[in-house]
Amino acid sequence: MTDPPDKFDQSQLSGRLWLAEALWKLGSIQFGDFTLGRTVRNSPVYLNAKLLISRPADLRRTAQLIADELRMGQAMRKRQVEPFDAVAGVPIGGLHIATALSLELDQPLLYVRPPRTGNVEHSSHIEGIYRPGHATVIVDDLAAGGGSLVETVERLREAGLRVHDAVVLIDREQGATGRLRMMGVRLHSILTLDVILEHLHARGHVSDEDFERSRGYFAREGQPRSEFD
């Protein structure tokens, strides 16, 4: 991660760091002052992984990265990923990634329908075919405080589904891991935002000023959050 830019080659980008480059080229990473939801407040960096939908080849390769992560976790002697019967996407950001992963793994896709004001349907209505007792792995694009992931776990479990693992493309490391752990769910990420920034800075894509400002923010904000954040 600390090598000068001229020492990076294609072989080093063949794994997870490929995703960092792909997101940068798509314009998914921006610097400024961003407040998003209850956890991300006045962040100097914003990442929009949804832009992957505009590059089918990149979306397909992203699904392959996640599939490899899950297979590796299941193959370890001390298993890190439990077997699952279906892939559950978190709307909206995780749904397109979950769809691509469902196709890659040839596994059924589920998603919790977002509640609507005045909707007469039960708030935990789930789209897709499943049976109580089936195990699901949750998929989202980004984790910060973990609010959407926690809500999805709760609603899937209300429907009788088992949830042991969640996977995200990017973990901002702002509390999601701890909150999910308390629910008995392991969070797996392809990359952390810190690793992405380290890589892009080493490649010369990110200025020293933006890099230091972002690192300072996460040093302050990257702490466990309460259940209300």
Give a yes or no: residue 22 inside a domain. Answer: yes
CATH of the domain at 159: 3.40.50.2020
Contact 103, 58 (CB under 8 A): no
Give a yes or no: residue 174 inside a domain. Answer: yes
Phi and psi angles of residue 80, each rounded to the nearest 5 degrees, phi first? -105, -15
Q: Is the pLDDT of residue 228 over 90?
A: no
Indicate the pLDDT class of residue 162, thresholds 50, 70 and 90.
Answer: very high
Specify the number of domains making up the chain: 1
> Once rounded to an integer, what is the mean pLDDT over residues 97-107?
96
Give a yes or no: residue 229 inside a domain. Answer: no
Per-residue pLDDT of 118-134, as tens digits, reads 555 544 589 999 999 99
Q: Rank 18-22, 24-28, 135-139 by mean pLDDT and report only the highest.
A: 135-139
β-strands 86-89, 135-143: how paired? parallel
Indicate the pLDDT class of residue 16, thresholds 50, 70 and 90.
Answer: confident
Strand partners, 49: none
| pLDDT of the residue at 128 | 93
Give a yes or no: residue 227 inside a domain. Answer: no
By residue range, what is the domain housing residue 118?
Answer: 5-221
Record the tokens describing residue 221, joined without a space. Answer: 């904000």
Give a yes or no: residue 226 inside a domain. Answer: no
pTM over 0.85: no
